[in-house]
Amino acid sequence: MLIAGFPAGSFAANCYVVAPGPGEECVIIDPGQDAEPGIAEILAEHRLKPVAVLLTHGHIDHIWSVAPVCGARDIPAYIHPSDRALLSDPARGLGLPVGQQLFGGLTFTEPDDVAELADGMTVRLAGVDLVVDHAPGHTPGSVTCRAQAGVMFSGDLLFAGSSPARSGGPTCRAATTRPSWTAWRGCALPSPTTSRCCPGTGRRRPSAPNGLATRSWPG
């Protein structure tokens, strides 16, 4: 399996491209701010064809470029329904009034094709099986995705080098952090000795299972 990634934009949220191997179809995970050039570079380098975008949650640093990325390639976006409203109104995730303008009046819209994720479902995208675990806490619709070869895409359930992320702001309530711990302890990392985590923010763990191709992070 090929996994390539980079920190996108000023938020430095990690965007990943996942495929069975070079020259294959791929899925894009969390295309954040100004992610299009980095995605295009990876696609060209590995001769990949994107078939979908998967979002671990709806915070703006992870969904900024989802509409243009999906629109340019006519592909769907996958997100948990509890975070779907953030696609068109990301200000909600920052505790701002509904419809509040962001960044000088930028507008955000849903992609034309949005599919909803559910806890426990297996999504087969680009020949890769991704098991979805709902992990509310950072946002109500946060999910993790487990792939073969012991790899987990955690979104901001985990930050690199840390324990599960705290409640992610006004879209959450303090009590909703408990399911995040449940996901961490139970479904998200069923085999800690062999799993590798690709976090939503920060550098990916440097070791990788055999057969994984990765891009280096700065520093």
Q: 135-170, pLDDT tens digit by residue?
A: 998 899 999 999 987 899 999 987 545 444 444 444
> What average pLDDT does this structure show over 165-182?
44
Q: What percent of the chain has pLDDT over 90?
A: 61
Q: What is the pLDDT of residue 95?
A: 64
Q: What is the pLDDT of residue 68?
A: 97
| pLDDT surpassing 50 at residue 62 | yes
Q: What is the DSSP string of 54-96?
A: E-S---HHHHTTHHHHHHHHT--EEE-GGGGGGGT-GGGGGTP
Helix (H) / strand (E) element for 181: namely helix 177-185
Residue type at 1 in one-letter notation: M
Q: What is the pLDDT of residue 195?
A: 63
Task: Give the pLDDT confidence of 77-122 residue by residue, as tens digits.
Answer: 999 999 999 999 887 767 656 555 666 667 889 999 999 999 999 9
| pLDDT surpassing 80 at residue 60 | yes
Burial of 191 from C-beta contacts in 10 A (0-12 / 13-18 / 19+): exposed
